[in-house]
Homo-oligomer: A and B are copies of this chain.
Amino acid sequence: MKSVNIIVTGFGRVGRAFWKVVEDKREVCRERYGLDLVPRAVFKSDGGIFGETALSMEPFLTDAPLKPLESPDWKPGLRVQDIIGDIEPGVLVECTPSDLRTGEPGLSHLTAALEKGWHAAAASKGALVLRFKELTGLARKSGVHLKFSAAAAAALPTLDVGIRSLAGADVLGIEGILNGTTNFILTRMGEGLDYGQALREARDKGIAEPDPTLDVDGWDTACKLLLISNAVMRTDFSLGEVQVEGIRDLSHELVVKASRLGKTIKLMGKCSKDERGHPWKLEVGLTLLDGSHPLYGVNGTTKGITFYTDTMGSVTVTGGKSDPLGAGAALLKDIIGIYHDR
């Protein structure tokens, strides 16, 4: 049995779901993978809980906001950087909200962890989108793993398939439906709603966030596409190089017309060879698919990705729970993958 220290930064929906998954899968981790995950610290923006020994997970399993007084070990103002060098390295689980301008606070968390010999599993995208090469280089230099399945479509295994299942093949192109919220909206528009109605329904169901800008304008798709492309094709794209179109301006009539023709309109992220100059091109935009496309039937909040390769043909993955639990499960999957390579 291997004991693995776990520190989680962030205590939003994904951070909490992660603790729930760890608690539910405690025995699975021990029996199936020989891993004993030891909660050592939790950080919010205004402080952290950190003691000398394993934390009790009980306070993390509540839906109520985690208040300072719930733990005698709460230390106002404490940051992960302050303590991560003091404990036996394990895995830092990064779940803070993504800031796509600065990458913070995730960037500082990941940098500190990787420098101190910790593996990291990230659900937040900001730091990786902005500093992919630096962070992966730092992980390599420190001889640790930097995993980010949860940031790259979570329970849909985009990176596992692209990196491991297609190892040795050359990926010639990628197409993906990478955002569940917009795919839900487009699916409902195909069933007769207009954009506003579909967005309202997505909000009512808790699928769309109160401010859905990043989703509906295509930026969430662009971030995931960039991470997948940089990881799988070893490109070095920055977000400004991705051509991004969202779904706000799509007319209801066009969706219905496509539907009548037996086709469907999807918001796709694409990585393809550009004939003119730069060898790869990343774009996010509306695409008309017919029934023969492997992502044609991917509806609702479901996501999917197709890799086109030289020696293995095309390989498509679809599905994967699109909610915080799915992201929590993807984080656990990455932790298991770090220690258990069979």
Contacts and interface: CB of A to CB of B under 8 A. Distances in A.
Query: How many protomers of this protein does the assembly include?
Result: 2
Contacts of A168: 21, 25, 28-29, 33, 329, 332-333, 336
A254 B284 CA distance: 42
Interface stretch (A5-13, A74-82, A191-199, A309-317): A309-317
A155 interface: yes
Interface string A297-336: 1000000001000011111111111100110111011001
Interface stretch (A65-73, A159-167, A222-230): A159-167
A167 B315 contact: no
Nearest to A322: B313
A326 B297 CA distance: 25
For the side of the interface on A, what is the size category? 35 or more
A47 interface: no
A341 interface: yes
Given A317-B317, A329-B168, A21 B336 contact: no
Nearest to A297: B297
Given A169-B333, A291-B297, A297-B297, A161 B321 contact: no
A319 B294 contact: yes
A101 interface: no
Contacts of A169: 329, 333
A227 to B, nearest CB: 15
Interface string A94-120: 000000000000000000000000000
18 contacts: A28-B168, A33-B168, A155-B315, A160-B161, A160-B165, A163-B342, A167-B336, A168-B329, A168-B336, A169-B333, A292-B297, A306-B319, A312-B320, A312-B330, A312-B333, A313-B320, A313-B326, A315-B320
